[in-house]
Structure 1
Amino acid sequence: MHDYQNGGSVSSTSTTVEQDTPIDITTFNHDAISFDPKTSKYWFYEKSADAFPGQAFGLQVDQILYHTKSQYQDILIFKSSSFGNVLVLNGIIQCTEKDEFAYQELITHVPIMSHPSPKKVLVIGGGDCGVIRELIKHVEDQTVESITMVEIDDMVIKLSTKYLPQMAKYHNHPKLNLIIDDGFKFLRETKLKFDVIITDSSDPEGPAEEFFQVNYFKLLRNALNHHGIVIMQSSENIWLNLKYLKNLIKKCKYVFPNVKFCQCYMPSYTSGQLGLLVATTNDSFNLTKPLRVFDRKKESQLFKYYNQLVHQSSFILPTWAQDYLEIDEESI
């Protein structure tokens, strides 16, 4: 994670959300916000010398809604001119009101619709509560019986409730057991078993890098019921660091015999795509085709991005990417 030393509205704790009025953008100081004198507009730029060198993604900023530094990370929320409210952690966009549903729906419904009986679900991370919103759809149709979410930073939940209410509207749902704790610690200590585990973590920089290692995959496997399914964002897509992605898949296959890679399309993520790894110990599961399907009318009622055809097509890769990911290389 990036370590920003910024001015602006910064608090040292994550216990309360007190700010009610936008911050004066003309005096606000943040590494990711800059002023363009040619257009007299303020811009947010997402940059990373490690994750995606040589490129950046920019959004015009209308208002700075909130800025703080919690115990764990730099949190920025701003209103953009074209993507609505935007949540940024450590300089990296986590979600925008315009396109968040694409990621939230795919990471949730691919494993849920691939499992024959997904009764107990664990979410690691996911403080914006978008995954919870999607899981509640399966609670309401009496498929999912219980949800446990483990989020280390309660400030993200509180701010999402206030500034992203359509995502975080089920943060206090009676079927949700919300635990403010470290996900690794929870997995190491829990005796519970889950049918589906959804890892909605930050990018693999700093402390979050542990979420992309073999030891973490082993913890996930130990917390799964027989033939359970796990899904996690891979951070990379095929247009960024393909070698890193292949190495991550190799690590996952060391623990899980059945691993697939899929991707969703959303413009607010670098290169317009985000990859997901889906894994299970069940060799017979065809993760690329949903076991359960809804008719077209119900799909339209429940989803904006996901449907049974999107489920299948999200696993289809261009020839060059598929060839590279499938060919064994000792150098990795």
Structure 2
Amino acid sequence: MAMLSRIENGWFKERPTLWPGQAMSLEVDTVLYAGKSEFQDVLVFKSAAYGNVLVLDGVIQVTERDEFAYQEMITHLAMFSHPNPQRILVVGGGDGGVVREVLKHDSVQEVYLCEIDETVIDVAKQFLPSMASSYKDPRVSIKIMDGAQFMSENQDFFDVIITDSSDPVGPADVLFKPPYFEKMNSALRQGGIICSQGECIWLHLDLIRPLLESCRLIFPSVSYAYTTIPTYPSGQIGFVLCGKSADTSFSNPHRVCEPGSAIQKKLRYYNHDIHKAAFVLPEFARRAIAGEKEE
């Protein structure tokens, strides 16, 4: 099986084409699942240091040890930037981690998860229960279908849309193109906000820059943030945030996660200072994204 061939001498090695010249390895304790869905290769293994690991098409998606650094940031950067998020759509994110984080906001009344690959949900329920247990909440509705189609059927409907996608290869490629962002814009209510996985400033500035330029033609408010996470390429991943209102300032969110509050006690990475700092980019990335030339 192709996925098992990536495990050599007890180590899983990630060598995707999107970051040539470097590789990420994790020591494997036990292979828990290896199969092929309708859309992609799916592997789950118990690692020696990072707990259970979900891999899609050879790329690490989540590990139990560090997933919160990604899940909390892709969720709460958007959720706290909205004054009253009630109806939420999560596209992708079949592991359930983003849904888990969304549900921590008391204002939330409905959460829709739109995942094209049901196998991801099934293996998450079995092997990643700390994330997939969120599916038991009665506010959650699961839709096994294309996210763009679902949004076309639900115009002017959501307060926040979070796209927790894999990299722009295979079924996730369309989630990084302008037509998809146009569909998100149409599916948002007035004042709505989107947050999408935005790749890595160390590796993908040539992808990030034109994507943000396209977003600025669609949304009046656009920004870029990032978080650190050990098992993603170069230990970092970014987020594209867009708002339907020009008054939205992502680095100064509408709501503050107060120290000692009920929601802050549930969080392991995100806080208000981290929120503000996430938008302060290293100078090389800021210049590149702004279209400035290096001296």
Q: Give the TM-score of the pair, scaled to structure 1.
A: 0.85
Aligned to 2:12: 44
Task: Read off the aligned partner of 1:230 and give its amino acid letter.
Answer: I
Q: CA deviation at 1:117?
A: 1.2
Q: Trace 1:1-332 onto structure 2 (pairs within 5 A).
A: 6=1, 30-35=4-9, 42-49=10-17, 51-138=18-105, 141=106, 143-191=107-155, 193-234=157-198, 236-298=199-261, 300-327=264-291
- Kindly state the Cα deviation for residue 145 of structure 1 after the two structures are TM-superposed: 1.1
Percent identity (aligned): 42
Q: Secondary structure at the match of 1:255?
A: coil
Report Cα offsets for 1:92-141 as digits up to 9, x if no partner.
Answer: 00000000001100111111101011111111111000011111111xx3
What is the number of equivalent residue pairs in this alignment?
Answer: 292
* SS of the residue 1:137 aligns to: coil
- In 2, the alpha carbon distance for the partners of 1:328 and 1:186 equals 38
Show structure 1 runs of 4+ deviating over 4 A. none
| Aligned-partner Cα distance in 2 for 1:252–1:258 | 9
Q: Which amino acid aligns with 1:170?
A: S
Looking at structure 2, the residues matched to 153 and 90 of structure 1 have their Cα atoms a distance apart, in angstroms, of 13
SS in 2 for 1:202: coil
* Deviation of the 1:31 alpha carbon: 3.2
Corresponding letter in the other structure for 2:4: H
Shift of 1:202: 1.5
Determine helix, strand or coil for the equivalent of 1:148.
strand
2 CA distance for matches of 1:135 and 1:34? Answer: 38
Verify the 8 A CA contact 1:32 1:46 in the aligned structure 2: yes
2:155–2:186: 8 Å Cα contact kept in structure 1?
A: no
- Matches of 2:103 and 2:168 in 1, distance apart? 28
Distance in structure 2 (CA, Å) of the matches to 1:192 and 1:257: 17
SS in 1 for 2:135: coil
- Specify every segment of 5 or more residues in structure 2 that has no aligned partner in the other structure, as ranges: none
What is the rounded CA distance, in whole Å, between the counterparts of 1:188 and 1:66 in structure 2? 34
Q: Which has the larger radius of gyration?
A: 1
1:194 Cα deviation after fit: 0.4
Listed one character per residue, the Cα deviations across residues 249-296 of structure 1 (whole Å, up to 9, x for unaligned) are: 112212112110000100010100001000012111111122112321
Structure 1, residues 213-239: CA drift from partner, whole Å, max 9, x if none?
1110110000000110000001x2111
Deviations 1:71-94 (A, max 9, x none): 111100001100000000000000
1:144 deviation in Å? 0.9
Separation of aligned partners in 2, 1:191 and 1:220: 9
Amino acid across the alignment from 1:34: E
The residue type equivalent to 1:48 in the other structure is P
Compute the TM-score of the two structures, normalised by the length of structure 2. Answer: 0.95
CA contact (8 A) 1:214 1:254 kept: no
C-alpha separation in 2, matches of 1:195 and 1:321? 29
Distance in 2 separating the partners of 1:287 and 1:192: 21
Structure 1 CA distance for aligned equivalents of residues 133 and 170 of structure 2: 30
Partners of 2:86 and 2:154 in 1: CA distance: 18
| Residue type of the alignment partner of 1:30 | L
- 2:80 and 2:264 mapped to 1: Cα distance? 16
